[in-house]
Amino acid sequence: MKDIKNASLLAHNTFGIDVRCRRLLEFSSSEEAQQVVRGLREGDRPYLLLGGGSNLLLTGDYPGTVITPENRFEVTVFSCPDDQDGVYLRCWAGSTFDEVVDYAVKLGFHGMENLSLIPGEVGASAIQNIGAYGAEASEIIKEVEAVEIATALPVRFSNADCQYGYRQSRFKQEWRDKYLVTAVTYRLTKTFAPKLDYGSIRRELDAKGIKDPTASQMRQVVIAIRRAKLPDPKVEGNAGSFFMNPMVTERKFRSLQLLYPEMPFFRLPVPLRQADGSVLTVKVPAGWMIDQCGWKGRSLGRAGVHDRQALVLVNRGGASGQEILTLCRTIQHDVKERFGIQILPEVNIK
């Protein structure tokens, strides 16, 4: 276990924000996570539970304790006698998620291909319900193991327990900062059933003359698409897609479509009923709206919008977290003014 005072967080966030925390604790097993929790004192608050920092914007020095799993690859493969097509991967929370995807594809285990090259660690996949190109982590998560901070006891949660939604889970809501995720078990399949009808996947496959792709070919196409659209955090600091795609009612969608006939959209397979009685039926790309507001490629100080994907905010070099937050709020204001839609950050802001 590592215990570092006044630790730099520069290497712990992909935006490349040079800030520090009062204390950094790193655990390398469930037992060490329990030890970490038992050793916490009131003076260590507040807590920031951190994975690879790929979905995080730090707006200043963190005044408390950062707790993180050791970054290492650890995967155990097992099967269940009553699940002939299923195969299970139990993964250490600090495993790099894309390394797990690569490992699964090479072994002929399917269901992760469309999630290729998403940055971050396994633990974050269960908290954030990461997704891309028509796939979400919630579709393959079987079980999440964690340590409860209040009691230092190990716990297990089923997929249903986590109440997954679009980029949401109970870990981001009522369970926020209450558990240290230590492992995630994914259920994959031996049978390959590719998801081709989202984004430009089918178009890219057609361009390569591939009609019936293998899982490896699917992974390579997804990687190529992401690399063409998204900047490398090692070159230009970013956290991938900064905003979530908003979902709107049919009435709102129709009114927008009258004004913007060319507007891209995605119909939800299952409409979502809200607490106020409204029903969300259509997802509108936030990146398209940001682009329509003229932000693609523009900068505000040392923070900017990527020139190939308006959904991505970037650190042009030496930007502070506050500069990126100001850019975020300015874009939100402009989208709200033009489209009447409030776009929300997918990135956690601290």
* H helices present in the chain, as ranges: 30-39, 97-107, 122-128, 159-162, 201-207, 215-229, 250-259, 286-292, 321-339
Q: Among the options 54, 138, 169, 241, which is catalytic? A: 241
Residues listed for the chain: 350
- Which structure tokens are listed for 280? 């969300």
At residue 156, what are phi and psi to the nearest 5 degrees?
Answer: -130, 140
Residues whose CB is less than 8 angstroms from the CB of residue 234 and which lie 6 or more positions away in sequence, other chains included: none
Q: Among the options 167, 187, 219, 226, which is catalytic? A: 167
* C-beta neighbour count of 42 within 10 angstroms: 5
What CA–CA distance (Å, rounded) separates 259 from 75? 50
Active site residue 167: yes
Contact criterion met (CB below 8 Å) for 324 and 303: yes
Active site residue 42: no
What CA–CA distance (Å, rounded) separates 107 from 190? 10
Contact criterion met (CB below 8 Å) for 349 and 60: no
Contact criterion met (CB below 8 Å) for 271 and 232: no
For residue 349, the surrounding DSSP H or E stretch is strand 348-349
- Which structure tokens are listed for 63? 């005044």
Active site residue 29: no
Q: Which residues are catalytic?
A: 167, 241, 346
